[in-house]
Each structure stands twice: as C-alpha cells, then as structure tokens.
Amino acid sequence: MSVKQRVQVRINGEDTEFLCESRQSLLEVLRENLGLTGTKEGCNDGNCGACSVVFDGRLVDSCLVLAVETDGKSVETIEGMAQPDSLHPLQESFLENAALQCGICTPGLLMASKALLEKEPNPSEERIRLWLAGNLCRCTGYDKVVRAVMDAAKKMKVG
Amino acid sequence: MDTSTSQEFAVVGTRPIRHDGFDKVTGRALYGADIRFPGLLHGRVLRSPHAHARIRSINLASAQALPGVKAIVTARDLALGSMSDAESQQTSSGFRYLSDNVLARDKVLYRGHAVAAVAAVNPHVAEQALNLIDIDYEVLPAAVNVLDAIKEDAPLLLDDLVTEELGTPSETRSNVAKHFRFEKGNVKKGFSEAELVVHRRFNTATVHQGYIETHNATALSSSDGTVTIWCSTQGAFNVRSTTAQLLNITESRIRVVPMEIGGGFGGKINVYLEPVAVLLSQKTGSPVRVLMTRGEVFEGTGPTSGTFMEIQMGMDRTGRITAAELDLYYEAGAYPGSPVSAGAQCALAPYNLENARVDGYDVVVNKPKTAAYRAPGATTSCLAVETVIDELCDGLNLDPLKVRFLNGVREGDRRVDGPVYRKIGYIETLEAVRDHPHWSAPVGGSNRGRGLATGFWFNGSGPSSCYITVNSDGTVSLVEGSTDIGGSRASVAMQAAEVLGIPAESVKPIVADTDSIGYTSVTGGSSVAFKTGWAAYEAAQDVIVQMTERIARIWETEIDKIGFSRGVFKSATDQSQTMTFKQLAGMLLKTGGPITGRANVDPGGAGPTFAAHIVDVQVDKETGKVDILRYTAVQDCGKAVHPSYVEGQIQGGVAQGIGWALNEEYAFNEIGEMSNPTFLDYRMPTSLDLPMIDCVLVEVANPGHPFGVRGVGEVPIVPPPAAVANAIANAIGIRLTELPMSPGKVLEGIWGITTNGRTA
C-alpha cells in the first residue's frame, strides 16, 4: 500500500481534510473518500465531462486532477450548487425545460453551464454550444440543454 | 383526416416537472456506482487481448499472492464451468453462449472478452492483480467483419454452430447462425414492370450505444444463501433470472435492486457483471462492487451490428415501387443473435409493395456480442431502402415526398413479413412534412442539400406490474418495476393521475426491486409508456373501484349509485352529495383501512410508429466534413403523454442517428483490435456538432391503448443516416453507401474512389 498524503481543501465552502494516495484523482477522492457521488465518472480520461467541477475558479474534469493538487485550494461540486431552500436558476431551468433524461451527465453540464454564465452572463447559442462541447450527453441531443442555459441566463439577468 | 386524439385529458398531454428531477439536478440521485457499503471490496475484470484464441491455461498464483487481493474467479466458478464436458453438452447452446460471454471457458471470441475477475481492497490493487494473472493463449485467426466471416475458409468461432437454413438446421459448421426469408408477390414480374432499377451495396460500421454511465454491479451474498444485487439495468427481472441460471441459484433467493441508470438505449439489457460480482461476494463474504472502464464498455459490451447489405429496387414512371429485393448480412458479434430479423421486417414497412423479397443472415464475428441499440436493426436497412428510393426518384425526376404518398402504407395494408396494419399514421406524418415550412424553404448556397427519409418501428409490450397506495393527504404512491431511462416515471405517473383526477405532482412514482413488485419485462422496445402506463391505468381504476365501495359504505348506498369524474365522487341520486378524492383519502383509516390498487398486465396492441425526417446539410468539398444545418423530425407518436419527453426522445434519437451517419465507428484492424476505445476517438456528437432539432408530434391515437399511447423512443434513430445521405447526394451529387460518412469517405466519394462493392 502506498503512503497516504494529507490534503486540506475547501469544498463547497467548507474546510475539508482527507487522506489519499498520490495516484488518486480528485474524482476518485470526491466519490470514494468523501462520498460526494454527485460528480459522475463517464470515461476517466477527460473526454466526457461528467466529472466537471470548479477547481480554484477553473472548470476542470476532476478525473484529470490529482487529489493532492487541491491542497490549500478550493473545489466546487454539484452538491454545492443549490441553496438549502432553493435551486440554482440553472437547476430550475433544466427541470422546466426537460433538459435531462437519464441524468448522468446533468451534474457535469450544470457545473459547466454555471461556469459559463459566471464568465459570460449573456452567451449566444453558438457560445453555449462551444462551451458545452466538452460535456457529452447521449440522451437529449443537446437541444433542450442549450435552451435551458439560455433560459437560465435570461432569468439570472432579471433576477 | 383526424390526426388528433378525440379524448380530452386533464393531465395526459401536459408538461409537469418530472418526479425524479430534483434529485438528478442536485447530484443526489443514486446511480449504480454511487452505492457504498462498509467493507466494500472492489472488483475488476481481466479481458482477452486477442480477438480469437484458445485458453490453454490460467495461472492465478502470483495474483492471489498480492496483498489486498481477496478473491479471484474464472469461468470454472460458473454453473457451466463446474460441469463435466458431457454434462455441459446437455445444456442448451443459448445457455452456454450466455455463460461463456460472462466469463469465457475454453475460447475467447473477441478482444475484451471477460476471462477472470479479481476482488481487492481497492480498485488499484485489483487492477495490479489483473496484470499478474498469467494466461497462456493459443492465438487463432480472426474473422472480424461480416464479409470475411461468411467466406468458405473463414475461421469458425463456435464448434457447435450450424446454419439454420430457412428454418431447417443444415449439416455443415458455419459462422452463419441463421438465414431466413420474407417474400411477397413475384419479384421478377415486378422488376419487369419497372422503368428504372437501382442496385446498390452498402457497408455500415459497428457502432456503440454510447451511454455515459459505464456498467456496474454490486453484490452481497449472505451466509443464508440469499443474494442482493444493486446495478444499472434496463431489466431487473432479467438480471435476476440470468444470474440465477448462470450461478445455479434459485431465482427467488436473488433480489435485484435497480439503481438509477445512466443511459442504456438497449445496451443495458444484457447481463455482464452481475454474476461476477455475486461470485466474488460468495467467495469473500463481503459486498463487492465491479465497475467497467470506458474502454471495457467499448470492447466488452454490446455494440450494434456492422452490416453488409445488397439491395435492388424498381420503380415505374408514375413512382410506384414495382419490386424490392434485399439481402441483409448483420454481424451478431461473438454469439448468434444480431437484430437482422427486425432489420428485415422494418426495411420495407413504410411501403405497400406487391412484390418483395428480403433475405437475412445472422453472422457471428470476432467482435463483442451485439446488444440491442434503439430500434435494433432498423437504422441500417432503412439506409439501404430510403437512399435507393431517393436515387430512383432522382433518376425518374419524381418528387420523393409524392412517391412516398403514392407507395405509403395505410390501415389494412400488409407488410412484406406478414402483419396487417391497424390504425397507423404514416400518411399523416407525410402530410405534416408537406405542410412544414422546412420542406418548402429554399435550400440556398453551394454544396448544400436537403434529404428526406422515413422509418418504422414496431413498438413493444410485455408483462408489467403496478400498485398504487392512497396516502391520507390525497396523494398516491405508485410502485412500478420499469427502470426509468429517460423520464418514464413521469409518463407512467401521469396516466395514473389522469384516472384518479389528481395532479401529476400528487403521484409519487417509485421503481422497486424484484421482491417488491410483480414481474416487469425490460425497459426496451419503446414499451414502458405503453405497458407500464397501462398497468398504472388499471391499478388506478382498481383504486377508484375500492374507493367507490368505501363511499358506498359511508353514504350507505349502492356502488352503482356513485359516479366518479375528475377527482370527485358524486351520488347519482342526490346531486348535492359529493366527495373529492382528497377528502375520501383523508378518511380511509377511519372507515375500514388503507386502499391499494393493483394491476398485472401483458397488453397486446402496441401500435407501431413512423418517422419522417428532413435534414439540410453543407458539405465542405475540400475537407469532406458534413455540417448539419437544419433538422426537422416528424413522428406519429400516438397520444403524447408528456410532450417534452417525447420531443426529448426524438431529439436524442436523431443525435445518435447523426453520429451513426457521420462519425461513429469501431475502428478495427485485421486482427480484431479496436483502435479507438475512448470518447476522444469514438466520436459521438457534441453540442457543437448539432443544430436545434425541431420536432413535430403527429398524434394518431393508438386504438389499442386507453389513452391512445404509442411507444416513441426508438423510431427517431431510424431515418437519420438515410436522410443525411440523401441530403449529401442532393448537395454534391454523390451517393455514399458506407457508414459512417466521415470526411475521408466523403472525399473518397468526391474523388471517385470506391471502396464499397466488396462482394460476398
């Protein structure tokens, strides 16, 4: 067994500490060590986006980040997206627009969409399609996903 | 013509928020890989590096010695593997194939074929242990595509396989498992009446369902001999019976808990990991979770068939199709059972033909055993038929839509394979194409073109079960056994709500485990909204009957003096005497106890469905890249229970069909190695590759269902490759006959290089 490393990281605003092997990805530690299973594994090689999280302000595939790299930094996951008493406008829009079917890619798509709208509050359809091209969805054909993001952008502007 | 459903509905046809939505947008929904137990062990599967080889020996000693390894299993641990040769020969070939596909005994038949499995303290140790298992293989020559596999001197995959030739077993061993024929009229006579005959050969690549969640199974075997399995499956009861059979366990001792499922599209009907996880748990006494990597999903689970198809069709000057002949060769993968039969039945289903012949061949090849994939078999045969019709229209200068009106099927017409249509909506679907602005809009621009194609799918049914318990607050809990791949909880719950006269939100649907609900056949064949919707409809009726009896007791009257409509019970004798569903629900416990309605059904009458797709493309003649500019999918969907999720099914099917048309393929070398088992290289459509996909729902009610429901999920994948091929031909005047129509293939077409036409 390899030696475990101690990592201190802020996850969804909470200071968290865990022990991990240096070969473990952030995805594996989130899911297996911390029980944050909302972040999904689809390929484990950075090609599907199901494991998208925000690491130190940047949208990343958590399967491509080593858990030890997060020491002293911050991570945001799907579990931190809703408030205790209300959903994030994107989550609401995904529900209202029927933008999910099986739902396995949904956490990743939501994290990616949130990162986009924080950067660009008013993206065009083309921008949304470009930004979400790293998140594969096999169920929806993306139509309702793109509409949901546009809808959420509108709501957030008004709100 | 009446294309609308005549009934008025309060809930069916509306668009409520899906019941499982909140959990799925917050990350709380638990999928198969999300389940965790104290003491959980992690399983990994060792797979063959060779496409075809005999296993001489397996040495587990080094792997077993690795610290952290808890158990290793091979085919010897399966019921079949523990039998003597004589005993195993007494079993059915179907059982042997099923067992050998889960863990291979003597031979591996594809690269990725499972051979052994390890349980260890963590997945990394399990992975290391796989590298320490020493297998001595005698590598054999491989037959990796259908044309190679049917050659006389082809390497034979299965020792016991002989061709079932038109219903009769033949004498000689072969890779052709089955040859069948459908025939109608006189094809020779039909061709003699044709003004133009087109003859084409098609090759299509093996493709994968591409669900984002990889396969997984967690099992816990207790010392009392009972077993619990948590997994992602389209059919929990199928997992139960298959596992019981392969491990020789009494079925009722196994409980299967279906977790949320991250896509299936047919590919999560087959059983791969569940028996392996059970074996590992039996050996260790601990819960064991076995996961596949993405590479294992590509190399070890069911793709759908690569095909070779030869077709000839004739048309007279008026546009009437005078004759059609098809020979369909479909890869089954390593064991018999390709979807060629469905492909053969669907190919000509939109047309009322006097003269036709379809021959189908089910061929084993050294590739993973194929699994169902959305409208299995229909997409490729549709490509052949719909592009040749388009070419005939071109040659005779006829409008392809008018030709489809002329030949299209109507109620009472008979399919080439036999069945006579009841009420169907093909013509109504064509009318919606004719009336759609997309059809009449100018295409505009150079190297741009428009294509039209139509398709058919049967839609399925099967046994299903449902019960509904009334809660005191006027809501109900609905328990069903159909795993929910794409929103079926909502469509089933809505059908119950319609009967009960309560809002969709007042129904709480739960997908239950195999101990908690009656037998429910797989989520497949576009059957759930129909069969489990029907079960919910009947269970809700049962609730109303029991509640009417209760009111009769409370009002001290006869049950036939009580009416029920839109959630309100009314006395027939005293107009002022009414009670709402909710009021009565609140009184149940004080008036005789709880009420649960139940239904067990196996309904016939799943009405078939048709799709007609219009697509505009732009072809870059320098790079060969094809862009989809505009897409309109018209579909007869019967009564759309939840129109948003019907649209979602259509849009998802179209996207998969476009991927199949333009990019997706198993890139196999001649020794049967897949060179692209990743999402980077197996190129599924991204959001950037697609436009919005417009849907037109044509609601021709299915007379075989109380609300007119037809299945909707599968037919949308049928026309896209044909529609795209027709659009490319319209854009650049070149007929492509291979899938995928990737940039390389488009350029070869432009340069006049034909790689197609390899003859059988």
Q: Do B27 and A107 touch (CB under 8 A)?
A: yes
> Which whole number is the average pLDDT over B333-351?
98
CA dist B563 and B650 (Å) reads 39
Taking the alpha carbons of B77, B81, B83, B87 in that order, is the dihedral positive or negative?
positive
Axis crossing angle, helix B236-247 with helix B93-102, rounded to the nearest 10: 100
Which residues in chain B have Cβ-Cβ distances shorter than 8 Å to A40? 31, 212-213, 262
Contact of B329 with B307, CB cutoff 8 Å: yes
Q: Of B36, B213, B678, which has the smallest distance from its Cβ to A45's Cβ? A: B678
Phi, psi of B621, deg, nearest 5: -75, -15
Q: What element of type H or E holds A76? A: strand A74-76
Residues 60-99 in B contacting A (C-alpha not used; CB under 8 Å): 67-68
Convert B320-378 into a string of H (helix), E (strand) and C (coil): CEEEEEEEEEEEEECCCCCCHHHHHHHHCCCECCCCEEEEEEEEECCCCCCCCCCCCCH
Q: What element of type H or E holds B723? A: helix B720-732
Q: Do B210 and A23 touch (CB under 8 A)?
A: no
Percent of chain B with pLDDT over 90: 96
pLDDT at B418: 95
pLDDT in tens, A145-154: 999 999 999 9
| Residue of chain B minimizing CA distance to A103 | B24
pLDDT in tens, B150-201: 999 999 999 999 999 999 999 989 999 999 999 999 999 999 999 999 999 9
Q: Do A48 and B679 touch (CB under 8 A)?
A: yes
Whether the CB of A143 is below 8 Å from some CB of chain B: the reply is: yes
Phi, psi of B291, deg, nearest 5: -120, 150
Which residues in chain B have Cβ-Cβ distances shorter than 8 Å to A103? 20, 24-25, 29, 260, 262
Whether the CB of B28 is below 8 Å from some CB of chain A: the reply is: yes
Q: Do A81 and B26 touch (CB under 8 A)?
A: yes
Contact of B481 with B517, CB cutoff 8 Å: yes
Q: Do B214 and A41 touch (CB under 8 A)?
A: yes
Residues 353-412 in B contacting A (C-alpha not used; CB under 8 Å): none
Specify the 3-state DSSP secondary structure of B215. Answer: coil
| Residue of chain A minimizing CA distance to B16 | A96
Percent of chain B with pLDDT over 70: 98
Whether the CB of B213 is below 8 Å from some CB of chain A: the reply is: yes
Q: Do A141 and B652 touch (CB under 8 A)?
A: yes
Residues 6+ apart with CB under 8 A from B263: A101, A102, A104, A138, A139, B209, B210, B211, B212, B213, B485
Q: Where are the alpha helices (DSSP H) in B573-692?
A: 581-587, 643-662
B6: pLDDT confidence band, cut at 50, 70 and 90?
low
Q: Do A78 and B33 touch (CB under 8 A)?
A: no
Q: Of A36, A78, A104, which has the smallest distance from its Cβ to B31's Cβ? A: A104
Give the mean pLDDT of chain B: 96
CA dist B288 and A54 (Å) reads 31
Whether the CB of B26 is below 8 Å from some CB of chain A: the reply is: yes
Judged by phi (left if over 0) then psi (alpha if -120 to 50, else beta), residue B161 lies in beta
Q: Do A100 and B27 touch (CB under 8 A)?
A: no
- One-letter amino acid identity for B745? K
Measured CA distances, B569 to B470, B494, B555, B561, B573 (Å):
15, 20, 11, 10, 12
CA dist B720 and B386 (Å) reads 10
DSSP B633-658: EEEE-BS-SSHHHHHHHHHHHHHHHH
Q: Is the peptide bond before B740 cis (omega within 30 degrees of 0)?
A: yes
Whether the CB of A40 is below 8 Å from some CB of chain B: the reply is: yes
Q: Do B684 and A138 touch (CB under 8 A)?
A: yes
CA dist A131 and A118 (Å) reads 12
Residues 85-114 in A contacting B (C-alpha not used; CB under 8 Å): 87, 91, 94-98, 100-107, 110
pLDDT at B700: 95
Q: Do A43 and B647 touch (CB under 8 A)?
A: no
Q: Do A139 and B687 touch (CB under 8 A)?
A: no
Which residues in chain B have Cβ-Cβ distances shorter than 8 Å to A134? 686
DSSP A81-113: TSBTTB--HHHHHHHHTT--SS-SSHHHHHHHH
pTM of the model: 0.97
Tell me B752's DSSP state. T
B3: pLDDT confidence band, cut at 50, 70 and 90?
very low
Whether pLDDT at B563 is above 70: yes
pLDDT in tens, B680-707: 999 999 999 999 999 999 999 999 999 9
pLDDT at B754: 63
Residues 741-760 in B contacting A (C-alpha not used; CB under 8 Å): none
B753: pLDDT confidence band, cut at 50, 70 and 90?
confident
Q: Do A146 and B692 touch (CB under 8 A)?
A: yes
Whether the CB of A39 is below 8 Å from some CB of chain B: the reply is: yes
Q: Of A35, A47, A110, which has the smallest distance from its Cβ to B679's Cβ? A: A47
Structure tokens at A56: 């130190």
> Which whole number is the average pLDDT over B297-304?
97
Q: Which residue, B430, B414, B353, is CA-closest to B613?
A: B430
Whether the CB of B261 is below 8 Å from some CB of chain A: the reply is: yes
> Which whole number is the average pLDDT over B518-537?
96
Q: Of B15, B67, B655, which has the smallest distance from its Cβ to A142's Cβ? A: B655
Which residues in chain B have Cβ-Cβ distances shorter than 8 Å to A101? 263, 485-487, 645, 648-649, 652
Residues B378/B383/B389/B393 CA torsion (nearest 10 deg): 140
Which residues in chain B have Cβ-Cβ distances shorter than 8 Å to A105? 212, 262
Which residues in chain A have Cβ-Cβ distances shorter than 8 Å to B26? 38, 78-79, 81-82, 87, 91
Taking the alpha carbons of B416, B419, B420, B421 in that order, is the dihedral positive or negative?
negative
Q: Which residue, B375, B346, B345, B268, is CA-closest to B716?
A: B375
Instruction: Give ranges for CATH 3.90.1170.50 in chain B.
Output: 32-140+214-261+268-300
| Residue of chain A minimizing CA distance to B297 | A43
Q: How many CA atoms lie within 13 A of B377 on its CB side?
A: 23
Structure tokens at B323: 């004759």
Whether the CB of A145 is below 8 Å from some CB of chain B: the reply is: yes
Beta strands B562-565 and B464-470 are unpaired
CA dist B219 and B222 (Å) reads 10
Q: Do A141 and B690 touch (CB under 8 A)?
A: yes
Is the CATH number 3.30.70.20 carried by domain B32-140+214-261+268-300?
A: no
Q: Do B26 and A97 touch (CB under 8 A)?
A: no
Q: Of B15, B679, B693, which has the smallest distance from its Cβ to A141's Cβ? A: B693
Q: Which residue, B385, B338, B431, is CA-closest to B3?
A: B431
Whether the CB of A132 is below 8 Å from some CB of chain B: the reply is: yes
> Which whole number is the average pLDDT over B27-42?
97
CA dist A100 and B487 (Å) reads 8
Q: What element of type H or E holds B312? A: strand B307-315
CA dist B402 and B318 (Å) reads 10
On the 0-12 / 13-18 / 19+ scale of CB atoms within 10 A, B723 is buried
Q: Do A40 and B212 touch (CB under 8 A)?
A: yes
Which residues in chain A have Cβ-Cβ distances shorter than 8 Å to B293? 44
CA dist B567 and B570 (Å) reads 10
Beta strands B254-258 and B227-231 are parallel
Which class in CATH covers the domain with range B303-459+607-751? alpha beta
Which residues in chain B have Cβ-Cβ distances shorter than 8 Å to A48? 212, 294, 679
Q: Taking the CB of residue B620, how many other CB atoms lie within 10 A of it?
A: 13
Instruction: Give ranges for CATH 3.30.365.10 in chain B.
Output: 21-28+461-601, 303-459+607-751
pLDDT in tens, A122-137: 999 999 999 999 999 9
Q: Which of A75, A138, A146, A150 would best serve as a mutation to test chain B binding (most B beta carbons within 10 A)?
A: A138
Q: Do B33 and A39 touch (CB under 8 A)?
A: no
Q: Do A141 and B263 touch (CB under 8 A)?
A: no
Beta strands B227-231 and B448-457 are unpaired
Instruction: Spell out the domains of chain A, with CATH numbers in brackets.
Output: 4-80 (3.10.20.30), 89-158 (1.10.150.120)
Which residues in chain B have Cβ-Cβ distances shorter than 8 Å to A135? 687
CATH number of B21-28+461-601: 3.30.365.10
Whether the CB of A84 is below 8 Å from some CB of chain B: the reply is: no
Q: ipTM of this complex > 0.85?
A: yes
> Which whole number is the average pLDDT over A16-43?
97
Q: Of A78, A102, A130, which has the smallest distance from its Cβ to B262's Cβ? A: A102
Whether pLDDT at B2 is above 90: no
> Which whole number is the average pLDDT over B114-119?
98
Q: Do A97 and B644 touch (CB under 8 A)?
A: yes
B5: pLDDT confidence band, cut at 50, 70 and 90?
very low
- The residue assigned the tokens 């199949």 is B660
B1: pLDDT confidence band, cut at 50, 70 and 90?
very low
Specify the 3-state DSSP secondary structure of A31. Answer: helix
Whether the CB of B688 is below 8 Å from some CB of chain A: the reply is: yes
pLDDT in tens, B75-85: 999 999 999 99
Measured CA distances, B161 to B53, B361, B362, B630 (Å):
17, 14, 12, 47
CA dist B342 and B35 (Å) reads 37
